[in-house]
Structure formats: structure tokens, C-alpha cells
Amino acid sequence: MTSYIADSAVFIMGNCNVDNSLLITVPSVVDELKSKDSVLRFDLAKEEGLRVEWPEPEMEKEVREKAEQTRDSEELSKTDLEILAKALEHREKAVLLTDDYAVQNVAVQLGIQVKPVAQKKIKDVLIWQKQCIGCKKTFEKGEECPICGSPLKKKRKKRLKSKSHKES
Ligand SMILES: [Zn+2]
């Protein structure tokens, strides 16, 4: 049976039509629940069978490495990394429920199935790079341009994969 790895959005939005007994999440997800309603939804889900599991360190390491490659690492919170690690561990039989763009991007690269909670799913995988706001040269990383000293800004580099784009 398919399980669902629940991002904080599942409890914040409260409109995902998945049975609570099929949900798995990580303990730190609670840190991202700011509203009373979302905390109530989380508690109710736990009563109805939501599993709260610690992520495995080896999985977290793999997620972190992948996020470095796609330049998503600075967008990911501790909870995001843990959610991704949990989804990676259950990759064979689980779907990750998330609306977070960076989380979706890394998940797709790790071969994790993703289902959006409220937003549309992204179609393409993006690689980020840094561009100088002064001389417009692009770099892999860094905060300051080594040529002219201006600040570097994050910029999309390329799409790795796109689903059947029809050009007519
Ligand atoms: Zn420059």
C-alpha cells in the first residue's frame, strides 16, 4: 500500500484527501506549524495513525549532497531536509506531499514521487547558479564577484528535464 510523506503544508492547508493512517512525517515538522488549526490537525492526524519517525542520517547525507548539486541547499530548512530524507528512505512505496518548490526540485532529482498539496507540481528540474549584478558574469557559487566585486544574485541556469514539450 502506498504511504504518503507529509510536509508541513499538509497540516497547514488541511485539504489533502489522504487518509491520516497512511501519512508519515518527521518530528521537526511541528516547528513549522504556527497556527492553532495546523497544530490541531497534526494532533488529530496522530490520533488517526499518522507515523512520526526520525530520519536516517545516511539518507539526510544523500539529500544534502543532491541539494548542493541543484543549488537548492540554501532554500531548504532543517525540516525540509528531514522530510526529503524520510521520503528517500520510503522511495519505493511512498509519495511525498509538498508544495515547497525547492523540496519538489530536489525530490524529483532523487527519484521521489511528488504530489502537490495545493499548488501545481513543477514540470522541470532547475539548476541554480549565481550571476554578478555588475558585470553579469556567472559563477557556480559565492556571494561576491571575484572580477568586479559586485554582489552575486541567484539565477536559474538550465532545465534538466522537461516532460514532452510540444513545439509546433
Ligand atoms: Zn562582476
Q: Where residue 60 sits, what CATH number does that domain have?
A: 3.40.50.1010
106 and 23 assigned to the same domain: yes
Q: Are residues 39 and 8 located together in one domain of the fold?
A: yes
What was the pLDDT predicted at 17? Answer: 78
Q: Is there a contact between 102 and 72 (Cβ–Cβ < 8 Å)?
A: yes
Model confidence over 34-90: pLDDT tens digits?
A: 999 999 999 999 999 999 999 999 999 999 999 999 888 888 999 999 999 999 999
Ligand 1 center–CA 134 separation, angstroms: 5
80 C-alpha to center of ligand 1: Å?
32
State pLDDT tens for residues 142-156. 899 999 999 999 887
In a domain, 166, yes or no: no
Q: How far is the CA of 126 from the centre of ligand 1 (A)?
A: 23
Q: How many angstroms does the Cα of residue 144 sit away from the middle of ligand 1? A: 8
Residue range of the domain that includes 135: 126-159
Residue-level length of the chain? 168
Note whether 111 and 149 are same-domain residues.
no
Write down the mean pLDDT value for the chain. 87
Position 160 pLDDT exceeds 70: no
How many angstroms does the Cα of residue 82 sit away from the middle of ligand 1?
36
Q: What is the mean pLDDT of residues 114-127?
A: 69
How far is ligand 1, taken at its centre, from the CA of residue 73, in Å? 23
Number of domains, the chain: 2
